[in-house]
Amino acid sequence: MSASPPIDTERPPSGRIIFVSAIFAAAACGIVYELIAGTLSSYLLGDSITQFSLIIGLFLTAMGVGSFLSRFITRDLIAWFVLGQVAVGLVGGFAALIGFAAFAYTDLCQPILYGLVVVVGSLVGLEIPLVVRILRNLSTLRGTLANVLSADYLGALAASVVFPFALLPRFGLVGAGMLAGLVNVLVGGAVLWRFRGDVRRMSGVLAPSIVLAIVALGAGLGFSHRIVGRLEGALYQDEIVYTKQSQYQLIVITRWRNDLRLYLNRHLQFAAIDEYRYHEALVLPAMEAAARRQRVLILGGGDGLAARQVFKYRDVERVDLVDLDPAVTDLFQTAPMLTNLNKNSLNDPRLHIHNTDAFRFLQDSTDLYDVVLIDLPDPSRAELGKLYSRTFYGLVGRHLAEGGVMTCQSTSPFRSRSAFWCIAHTAAAAQWGPEGSLQMEVRPYHTLVPTFGTWGFILAGVRLPPTTDLKISVPSDYITTAFLPGLFVFPPDMSDIETPISDLDDPKVVELYEYGYHKILD
């Protein structure tokens, strides 16, 4: 049996402590870079599952490459560790900024992002092998590996908690990257200071590099919001009047003359010049088809525009609005330009805001509603697919009072015909009640919103009145009694087609949605 390496008694335990602490901080920064890359690629390129899968795979592979390459570093291990911290701090710190710039000004965003991930992953992969070799004379190999790997995993855990709840909302993607870069460089500086006697041969290079990196990253952090504002300005046609990175999404509002537009993660949500067409089509048919209108549930609709239409009906007594992101509802409750647009609907005493997931709200609530209005994002990602599943519509059905109805925005029957009819068929297949005895009658309809083109909806309920009996009883700018029946008539190129049912474990609607839009764009 081989003996454990002897402990170097000339170095106090503080040397071991500082390196273990360095691994904790470096691991946290590495996870932050990985999360930033995954979030940025999902935000810019779409398809979050594919992008996160590729980013994680590339990052881990690159870490393996970095670990392999560490074998070729045979001297000045501490100096190389410090240099690695400076390099990963600079590349990782500026990665999000470079990614934004590449998307705004080139057609090479994807390869540039993936290249940055490989570089950062390789530099992160160098860290643990170097530290283990540095510490092998301060402890047994068993103790060294246990300490280093424990610090590495704990650092990763810390970053995975801090990133979504603190770093991203407070600093945004670019600022969070700069801050992580600063931490890496400061770790390198602390190690250099503690072991300055061991790296005299390279201190003339390392010390100035650390100072310059701190200045660059500090300046980048200080001006990150201004820099991102300029880059985002290149991504939008109109003047940006508001931008904020919330815990869940990037919120951007643009203005051109009197037209305000809301973008969430770069996806247009409404244009003030014609949003009334969409929201009248979403709200008025359901409000007129319901047996009563006292209690209304809005899933999504954090901009208050659907609620504005609901409050046209004086017999409405209570509205529950469920929107995941408090940053959106707070904005549309307080910003004068937006409260003017939604007629201050979110501050109406009859309206109650619930900032939670729509699926979870339906699971936890026992309330019944006369009208349920579903104004959720399109099923463009797997995590949104559950909101268009048979299970979800079954939950909605359980919350319908007798004579209650539901309307759901259902994407474009022209651009994504299969996804639209999949939503309609899935809602019709939903069952609830004793032994699944209750189902909804579903009536698809569509309208034209100039900004979006042809847009589709479904009207559903256990028992629906004839479409010809619906009368619009409130003032409107678009939907009238005479106009309403025509919304339920589809031309041949948007007519009903056979589709699968979308379930929680197999969200077919997401696949159909992506295929439909890619087919149109190609």
How wide is the angle at C-alpha 445 spanned by C-alphas 423 and 457, nearest 5°? 45
- Asked whether the beta carbons of 126 and 68 are under 8 A apart, the reply is no
- Asked whether the beta carbons of 406 and 374 are under 8 A apart, the reply is yes
Q: What is the pLDDT of residue 264?
A: 93
Which residues on neighbouring strands pair with residue 268, listed in sequence order?
A: 263
Q: What is the pLDDT of residue 400?
A: 98
In the chain, list all ranges with CATH 1.20.1250.20.
14-231
Q: What is the pLDDT of residue 54?
A: 95
- Asked whether the beta carbons of 173 and 40 are under 8 A apart, the reply is yes
Tens-digit pLDDT profile for residues 96-142: 999 989 998 888 999 999 999 999 999 999 999 999 998 876 666 77
Query: For domain 274-521, which architecture applies?
Result: 3-Layer(aba) Sandwich (3.40)
Low-confidence ranges of the chain (pLDDT < 70): 1-14, 137-140, 517-522
Dist CA 441 CA 209 (whole Å): 69
Q: What is the pLDDT of residue 501?
A: 97
> Six-digit token pair at 430?
């939903």
Exposure string of 363-389, with b = 16+ CB inside 10 Å and e = fewer, is eebeeebbbbbbbbbbbbbeebbbbbb
Dist CA 286 CA 132 (whole Å): 66
* HEC letters along 99-128: HHHHHHHCCCHHHHHHHHHHHHHHHHHHHH
Q: What is the pLDDT of residue 10?
A: 46
Dist CA 178 CA 358 (whole Å): 34
Q: What is the pLDDT of residue 4?
A: 36
> Six-digit token pair at 456?
């589709």
Dist CA 335 CA 339 (whole Å): 6
Q: What is the pLDDT of residue 40?
A: 92
> Has domain 14-231 been given CATH number 3.40.50.300?
no
In the chain, list all ranges with CATH 3.40.50.150.
274-521
Number of helices (H), then strands (E), in the chain: 17, 11
In terms of Cα–Cα distance, which of 109, 113, 152 is closest to 20? 152
Global pTM value: 0.82
Q: What is the pLDDT of residue 17?
A: 87
- Length of the chain counted residue by residue: 522
Q: What is the pLDDT of residue 202?
A: 78
Q: What is the pLDDT of residue 15?
A: 74
Positions marked active-site: 375
